Structure 1
Amino acid sequence: MSYVNKTVSINGTEKDFIKAFANELTSADSRITCETDIDAEFANEDSSHIITIIFDVNNCYKIKLIRTVAINRATYQYNIQTVVNNVDKSSASLYFLSTMKTVTDIATRTFNFMLISNDNAIAILFGGYNRTLPNTYDYNVMSYHEQDFNVIAYNLNSIASKAEYIRTDENHQGETYKITNRLLYSRDEDVEIIESKPLMQNNNAVYDMKNVYDCSNVLAGNILSFEDNRYFSIDTNTLIKI
């Protein structure tokens, strides 16, 4: 179980920066692996080549970092995109600085990410150089994992946990789910926690997630300590145990 709030800021070339970011992201959780040879990607001599770095998350989905222009042109951003069941989904821009730079320029480039994970859930928020997570971010994903049951939700600028969950394992691949709240009221200063969070399909609760909890109304983006356990409030009614 982990909680990582990381700013990756490197003074060097663009390759130095992307390698540092990839190292920090894969180090944050062993279930995240980089599929791309970054040295080879930046060594491509085709002037029209678009640098693309691919991460695999627990064989559930992939994350792509895609340079917005060809390798021979200056840029200040990458697009971040999820790939679900081999289909590219919506993307968002991550700005690593405010001025255009070529890949070989020595400059300080910055990305931010926050990762909250346990045995069953992985939630990641991504932000550019001018973002302060978790209050502002550009893209976020949340996935849930059990043997033969894997789902992912993703979203731009709003909490992924509120989005549709798409199943990615071989059994029932492509099925969609929603999460629902059992507790829809405020407890003033107290927080009530129910140790399950249902996935809904056609208005029926078909699966109870583990280590993802329902709670009374709390402030999103905070860590709660309750009965010797720690939780991150991914949204105002959903806790992830850390």
Structure 2
Amino acid sequence: MSYINKSVSINGTEKDFIKAFANELTSADNKITCETDIDAEFANEDSSHIITIIFDVNNCYKIKLIRAVAINRATYQYNIQTVINNVDTSSAALYFLGVSKGVTDIATRTFNFMLISNDSTVVMLFGDYNGVLPAINNSSLMSYHEQNFNIVAYSNSINTIASKSEFIRTDENHKGEIYKTTNRLRYSRDENVEIIESKPLVQNNIAVHDMKNVYDCSNVLAGNILIIDNNRFFAIDSNTLIKIKE
């Protein structure tokens, strides 16, 4: 699948829940893998150990899911953090429950995530147990992948979208270069939608690369799925469509 809006909810221990969440996220797209032995993380006998689950996305960047407190303390929270070029970015809180629980307590814990992807693009949104995606999200990511061209943008501001953030390049020869998108069709077409079958990346107001399977469009309602010429698109923001791979 390339469009998933999933509520991962498990009644069991915290390890049961985290394993279920990791399985759903890695099953959503084969670009995402889990690097962590989750059983070993929860079996750590150091009472000060902070459980950390690491996901790799297409060898481009990593996502860390970090327990808010040590393994011997109760909590209702993990923090989600993006690692870009081996640098930890700021984190966002994700709440799996409204009350604190210990790791072995039996309870119903829930995370919400969305994933929209095609051959070159991955978009992810994460939300609390009681949030409704995409309207309410705590963290979002967008990455774009071509041979020798990999970029990622993230946002840890509540209800903002990564597509409007800076994109950071991660492939070796141009690591750390910064790009932004630009909107070429910032107007409405009544009930119709006009599209350009690429989205430009700019540096210093100069277009330097066109993203494929990411489309510029006239104003649309963000968060919706659109059908255009029998193809499905997700509106990640009001002027950007992600083509959904069938």
- Alignment of 1:197 with 2:199, yes or no, is yes
Question: For 1:62-141, what aligned pairs fall within 5 Å after superposition?
Answer: 62-141=62-141
Q: Kindly provide the amino acid, as one letter, of the partner of residue 168 in structure 1.
A: T
Give the Å deviation of 1:103.
0.1
2:8 is paired with a residue of what secondary structure? strand
Single out whichever of 183-192 and 210-219 deviates more from structure 2.
Answer: 183-192
- TM-score, L = length of structure 2: 0.98
- 1:114 and 1:88 map into 2 onto residues whose CA distance is 22
- 1:4 and 1:169 map into 2 onto residues whose CA distance is 28
Aligned to 1:220: 222
Aligned to 1:181: 183
Aligned to 2:14: 14
Aligned to 2:241: 239
- 2:51 and 2:84 map into 1 onto residues whose CA distance is 20
- Alignment of 1:161 with 2:155, yes or no, is no
Give the Å deviation of 1:188.
1.0
- 1:100 and 1:147 map into 2 onto residues whose CA distance is 45
- 1:89 and 1:130 map into 2 onto residues whose CA distance is 25
Give the Å deviation of 1:171.
1.7
RMSD (Å) for aligned C-alpha atoms: 0.6
- Alignment of 1:25 with 2:20, yes or no, is no
Deviation string, structure 1 residues 169-207 (Cα, Å, up to 9, x no partner): 112100000000010111111100110100001110000
Aligned to 2:146: 146
Structure 2 unaligned runs (5+)? none
- 2:208 and 2:44 map into 1 onto residues whose CA distance is 48
Aligned to 1:44: 44
Deviation string, structure 1 residues 32-61 (Cα, Å, up to 9, x no partner): 000000000000000000000000000111
Q: Kindly provide the amino acid, as one letter, of the partner of residue 198 in structure 2.
A: S
Give the Å deviation of 1:67.
0.3
- 2:147 and 2:90 map into 1 onto residues whose CA distance is 27
Q: Kindly provide the amino acid, as one letter, of the partner of residue 242 in structure 2.
A: I
- Alignment of 1:54 with 2:44, yes or no, is no
Give the Å deviation of 1:72.
0.2
Deviation string, structure 1 residues 109-136 (Cα, Å, up to 9, x no partner): 0000000000010000000101100010
Q: Kindly provide the amino acid, as one letter, of the partner of residue 222 in structure 1.
A: N
- 2:53 and 2:149 map into 1 onto residues whose CA distance is 26
Give the Å deviation of 1:162.
0.2
1:171 is paired with a residue of what secondary structure? helix
Structure 1 unaligned runs (5+)? none
Q: 4+ residue runs of structure 1 moved beyond 6 angstroms? A: none
Aligned residue pairs, count:
242
